[in-house]
Amino acid sequence: MKADYTNNRGALVALLREKLREERFTHSLGVEQTALALAEKYGASREKAGLAGLLHDIAKQMDAPALAEKYGILSPSEKTLHGPVGAAWLLEHDIVKDDEVLLAIKYHTTGRADMTLLEKIIYLADYIEPSRDFAEVAQMREYAFSDINKALLYGLKLSMVDIVERGSLVDIDSVEAYNCYRRMFEGGEV
Ligand SMILES: [Fe+2]
Ligand SMILES: [Fe+2]
């Protein structure tokens, strides 16, 4: 299958249906739509944003630990494995070859320092798509469409607190992402 989003969207949606449970499938379509809206707002490629948004959770229901071993992917947290595993799986199966899209999928859960515009868009779209419902989501949606870096820091901070409160291990990419965008807003309101 080619990675041409516009011409192959139907086949990609069918692939998602096969790989994901209903709720995750709906979430993926929501991330696609939000990623397209953010791409329009910030002048990123709609083609890449749509493709990455649609496929970002492709590995969510796969055996991520087994695939991580196969692909040589290391992470202290099993929860974040589906990003890098999904990117490696899509490359292996010739579905996505574009590096920018693959990196946006790879880092959609953890973020990382100095993210590309596309990476920021997918990270945020994953957080704020229409079916997401949590106390801070309205604030985050507002930030996402007014100041993308502020929205990013807001999300990274929420997720860091959540990881720590759940007693989970923090991926080093999350720490570096947080530090990177905290520096940008040192002493700020976020
Ligand atoms: Fe995910
Ligand atoms: Fe997701």
pLDDT digits (tens, 9 = 90+) for 133-173: 999 999 999 999 999 999 999 999 999 999 999 999 999 99
Q: Measured between alpha carbons, how far is 35 from 144 in angstroms, rounded to an integer?
A: 11
Alpha-carbon gap, residue 92 to 87, rounded angstroms: 9
pTM of the model: 0.96
Residues whose Cβ atom is located within 5 A of ion ligand 1? 57
Give the distance (Å) from ligand 2 centre to CA of residue 59: 10
Q: How many CA atoms lie within 13 A of 134 on its CB side?
A: 13
**From the centroid of its chain, how far is CA 50?**
12
Separation between Cα atoms, residue 172 and residue 126, nearest integer Å: 20
- Kindly state which CATH superfamily the domain 5-184 is placed in: Hypothetical protein af1432 (1.10.3210.10)
Structure-block tokens of residue 94: 């010739």
Q: Please give the mean pLDDT across all residues of the chain.
A: 96
pLDDT digits (tens, 9 = 90+) for 31-59: 999 999 999 999 999 999 999 999 999 99
Q: Which residues have C-beta under 5 Å from ligand 2, the single-atom ion?
A: 57, 126
Residue spans of the domains in the chain: they are 5-184
Instruction: Please give the distance, rounded to the nearest whole angstrom, from the Cα atom of residue 187 to the centre of ligand 1.
Output: 30
Helix axes 5-19, 46-55, angle to 10 degrees: 10
C-alpha torsion angle, residues 34, 37, 43, 48 (rounded to 10): 50
Determine the pLDDT at residue 3: 61
Reply yes or no on whether the pLDDT at 2 is more than 60: no
